[in-house]
Amino acid sequence: MHEPSHPNRRTTLAWLMALAGASSAASCGGSSSEAPAPSGNTPAPTPPAAGPITATTFASGLDSPWGMAFLPDGRILVTLKGGSMVILSANGSSTTPVTGVPAVNSSGQGGLLDVALDPDFSTTPWVYFSYSENGTGGSGTAVARAQLSGTTLQNLEVIFRQSPKVSGDGHFGSRLVFRSDKTLFITLGERQQGSPAQDLSKTLGKVVRINRDGSTPADNPNLGAGALPGIWSYGHRNPQGAALHPTTGELWISEHGPQGGDEINIARAGQNYGWPNVSYGCNYGDSYPGTDNSSCRIGGGTHEPTYVEPLTYWVPVSIAPAGIAFYTGSLMPEWQGNLFVTALAGQALWRLTLTGNTVAARETVALPELATRLRDVRQGLDGALYVLTDGSGGSLLRIAR
């Protein structure tokens, strides 16, 4: 894979200006090269939606929010890194604590992390959440589920524990995504250990797929003797974003690189994504001339043929990608099918335009409210995009017309 060009700088404003220019030419009479007017059998082109896209504060005062899930009635479950879960009212005006959350280790990058609703939540109100858990040897990512009754989590059971637990407080992952067959994907960081991402006897640096009760699906990839059950793909560093492609149903993930080399990948069954043997990033402290980091890329950078090439990557500086989401709504039709990527270090929301599985262009969304550390993005029930900002004074932003 060739190194991607610099991010596409075109914005919605530029698109509107171009449209205005075309309108001006038409008002002056046009020319013989002008396209003919639509015939009676040809539908007229759909006019662009009126009004600018804006970002407004939907809720504020959230203490280091990490993940969110939209309840069927429009309220929003939000996890707070320190170990709390809250429910935002459907209009964002009030916040109610949820009781019954287990103890978490919130040091470093740990804490209460992602949250997802059971595919059959309306009849079996299970809520699934990931968190960093203490235990023998240190800590590790765990996933539990509990039934939401009012504002209380009941009948809690741990359905997955990363193995082994290790010392340190970084690279826990962890996003939760339900597949269409109601199995659960869990993304897991390699806990800053490096080589265990290639070790199939450990679930560090892996994507795991389990059933809702924690058992292993019979059609998971067979990775040979000694491989732990549940492993779907491996060679991952710290995947903190995950979303299903709305057409193919495949799992797309964002991964933190080291010094540069952040990636977007499609996590496919049994595939190896190369960490820590190869990366388009460099080891921390490595130097390079200007913006060309090719001289210090880990393992030479190129992944193929031994490992899976990323769909796109960021060099030479990391943006620290976090939550991702595909947009399928109608409020912003020009964004349909685009992939949105939140960035922590990069302090931006990236918009990736796709042609099939190819990243055709990428740019940051040019709204000043988004120029901050962003933790997660989801499409709401109303067709807007909702973005969580990171940190002790966190907010939930709503992006729409």
Contact 142, 168 (CB under 8 A): no
Contact 190, 205 (CB under 8 A): yes
Written as six digits, the tokens of 9 are: 């700088």
**Nearest by Cα to 382 from 324, 322, 323, 327:** 327
Residue 171 CA to residue 161 CA, distance in Å, equals: 15
Residue 308 CA to residue 117 CA, distance in Å, equals: 31
Q: What contacts 237, CB < 8 A, 6 or more positions away?
A: 171, 189, 190, 197, 205, 255, 256, 257, 258, 275, 276, 279
Written as six digits, the tokens of 363 are: 């740019």
Among 6, 171, 236, 303, the active-site one is 171
Neighbours of 55 (CB within 10 A): 18
Residue 159 CA to residue 174 CA, distance in Å, equals: 15
- Report the SS3 class of residue 370: helix
Contact 234, 205 (CB under 8 A): yes
The answer to whether 236 is a known catalytic residue is no
**Nearest by Cα to 81 from 279, 261, 344:** 344
The amino acid occupying position 2 is: H
Contact 151, 77 (CB under 8 A): no
∠ CA 290-295-300, nearest 5°, is: 140
Residues annotated as part of the active site: 171
